[in-house]
Chain A
Amino acid sequence: MAHVKRFLPGALLVLGALISHGASSEELRGKVELLARGGKGPARGADVRRAVVSFEPVSRQPVRPPAEPFVLATRQKQFVPRVLAVPRGSRVRFPNEDPILHNVFSVSPDNVFDLGLYRKSKGRERTFDKPGLVRVFCNVHQGMVGYLLVLDTPFFTAPAADGSFVLTGLPGGHGKLTVWHEQGEAWTQDVRLPAGPVTARLEVSRAGAPPHLDKRGNPYTSRDSYRDQ
């Protein structure tokens, strides 16, 4: 259900794009497979539902963000959802649902921001105009990692638990299909629609989120708290 909620705004966007352009009608089905390092069998413990599948047509489609903001919450010292895909120009709200102070920041190129430290509240908003991967962290809790994918296309979705996905309302012709997952390198393939089912195989090359620095570019201070000086 959480995945439905997560991608519902995106689906509505696709629907909006369909209505506004009328001519889109293609569908692309496929499956995402996460493979162990070296491509030897399926990757254990990697959640395929955290992948983002997007299609970027060669003929650029207008991207219209929804009126309501997307939501990336801090809950139980985690970002929820961990992965959020939004179309370029979307607003994202960052509510704090925990009874403790959190900070939300990113130092990802083109999307640098710092929402400061705040208590449990509806949180603060930011508009993301530049496409790209935005790694979102909390400056208080090193273990908190979220991924915001700002996409330059209205066509995206998340795979089901079995890896299957369907993209609908696509314009015919050439385009680039991309599958992103936090634990591997992005997979891309040129696709000409209409097309048959596509299988995207991603090699899981990272156990989890790589270590990161705090917002000042320094190591987090968990070691310092026990410093003997």
Chain B
Amino acid sequence: MSDGKLGVWMGALLLAVALPVWAQDPPPDESGVTGEEALEETPGEGGGVDLRFGVEAKAHFRQSDGNRFRVNFPFTPAMLPPGGAAFEETVDEGSHFEVSVLTLFVDAVWSEGLAAHAKIDAIDLYDRNPTSGDKKLDVDEAWIRFGRESDPGLLPARGGAYLKVGKFPKFERQDDRHLESYGLLSTAFNRFEDTGVELGLNLGRHLYLKGSATQGNPLFIRDPNALAGDNGTDDFLGANPSPELKSGIVILYDAEVEDLDTDGDPEIGAGLGLRFGDDAGRNAVDLLVWGYRRTLADTVDLEGTFYGGDLDLLRGPGENDPRFRFPGLSGDDKQEVGANLWVYLGGLTFFGQFVDQEIASLPRTGWEGELAWRFELPLVWAVAGRQLFPSIAPAVRYSRIDNDFRNPQFTPSPSLNWDWEKLDAGVRFAVIEGIDVTVEYAANRFILGSGAEAENDELLSTLRWRM
């Protein structure tokens, strides 16, 4: 590790030690929206640690349209599947029942200013990349936080700061999605957690700053529907490969961080936010502008695929063979600037995001908006002291990505520069406390290199159980 990089990580460590002193100043005499104080002390305030465990399981019925698009890449005959032609194809088309994830949550709270969280996924079918070859057990989150952090739209009681260290979601990620699927932006830019440190500063109750120094999610490819697809799996090492799950129709995205790596340059992120609302968070507006910058690695090894991430992916096979590399590719700088808007009006929720990105001089922009309305249902039935069907939440999300770069002359993934829009619409039924069902339909529309429009739709039903 170079001295400069060591300095960044040491600085983060120093902050981790110093911030708790600042973050735990005694609160001013400021009451909440009701003018009343809390009845009980916050967990952990009595001394010791408040330890909580939770589990979650998701089962699905998925119906994926079957579509495929011819690929012009000059594979050798041995590299081509039976039939002698290569395609980008829907991942695992048809109707399927599947259990996608079993999750264990652990929360430890020592005080309002000191907490830790872990999320461990087993199976992890929809977050695997490649779908069939990636890890089936994954530590999605593992972090410790010093100081108080506010959720989007929630006013902190006072100014302050926090520092989070470990593996955690990116601060601009929508954290209360109302559909099981992801939009194009939430797939491309911030679906997966990153590893490092995050600093938050509340400058009073309304203005806030975010900053992060993280490892950076490797650039890779996946299908934006439920399953990522199989690319570069062991199947492709044999003659005439025919992977059962297929490649998917892929976009560029920030993939999962595989292992802790402090050798590379950190990705630096910053955000400036402004929020207004009531103390209960029922009605709130939160606007965040943010940006990230990092240096792309020559290659990144990913579990289950021999394709390399980052520049390796963009340069294609061969040593800078101009036929296979993206023509506009230049440098190794990757940066995004974006803006988020959260609006909460009682049960009505809107989340919007805009992103402008450059990947080694390959530009693209995108935006996404989700509107959801969660409302209580009247009490009709009950089981074991709990209401059956307590709420329902219809939601609709539109997202699009416009790619302003050209594909290589020959590419196994021509969809990477297709302009794309995705409309997701669905409804989430709460069955009983801890169990809900989400039924949704994803309509993908994209413009092929020929100018023709095509689609690749998917119906997804999710039964989620949580306790």
Q: Hey, which bits of chain A sit against chain B, CB under 8 A?
A: 76-77, 98-101, 105-109, 112, 114, 119, 135, 143, 210-213, 215-220, 222-229
Contacts and interface: CB of A to CB of B under 8 A. Distances in A.
B298 interface: no
B355 to A, nearest CB: 18
B149 to A, nearest CB: 12
A227 B430 CA distance: 14
Interface stretch (B7-15, B74-82, B171-179): B171-179
Given A98-B379, A210-B34, A227-B176, A216 B42 contact: yes
Given A107-B34, A211-B33, A229-B119, A220 B280 contact: yes
A101 B385 contact: yes
B281 A107 contact: no
Contact of A215 (B38, B154, B173, B178): B38
B36 A211 contact: no
A212 B34 contact: yes
Contacts of B175: 227-229
A119 B282 contact: no
Interface in B170-210: 173-178
A100 to B, nearest CB: 5
Contacts of A227: 175-176
A215 B39 contact: yes
Nearest to B283: A211
A217 B385 contact: no
B19 to A, nearest CB: 22
B376 A143 contact: yes
Contacts of B43: 216
Nearest to B466: A225
A109 B36 contact: yes
Contacts of A99: 379, 382, 385
Contacts of A229: 117, 119, 141, 169, 175
A176 B301 CA distance: 80
A64 to B, nearest CB: 29
Contacts of A98: 379, 382
B37 A107 contact: yes
A107 B39 contact: yes
Contacts of B173: 228
A216 B34 contact: no
Contact of B33 (A106, A119, A212, A222): A212
B154 A135 contact: no
Contacts of B48: none
Contacts of B35: 109
Interface in B255-284: 278-283
Contacts of A77: 376, 378-379, 387
B449 interface: no
A105 B187 CA distance: 43
Smallest CB-CB A-B distances: 5 pairs: A217-B38, A211-B280, A99-B382, A211-B282, A107-B36
B155 to A, nearest CB: 10
A15 B335 CA distance: 78
B66 interface: no
B117 to A, nearest CB: 8
15 contacts: A98-B382, A101-B385, A107-B36, A135-B36, A210-B33, A211-B33, A212-B32, A212-B33, A212-B34, A213-B33, A216-B41, A226-B177, A226-B178, A226-B428, A229-B175
Interface string B75-103: 00000000000000000000000000000
A212 B177 contact: no
A98 B280 CA distance: 26
Contacts of B385: 99-101, 119
Nearest to B193: A229
Given A223-B176, A227-B175, A211 B376 contact: no
B32 A213 contact: yes
B29 interface: no
Given A210-B33, A225-B430, A228-B169, 19 more contacts: A99-B385, A100-B379, A101-B386, A107-B37, A107-B39, A109-B35, A210-B34, A211-B278, A211-B282, A213-B34, A216-B39, A217-B32, A217-B37, A220-B280, A223-B281, A226-B428, A227-B176, A229-B117, A229-B175
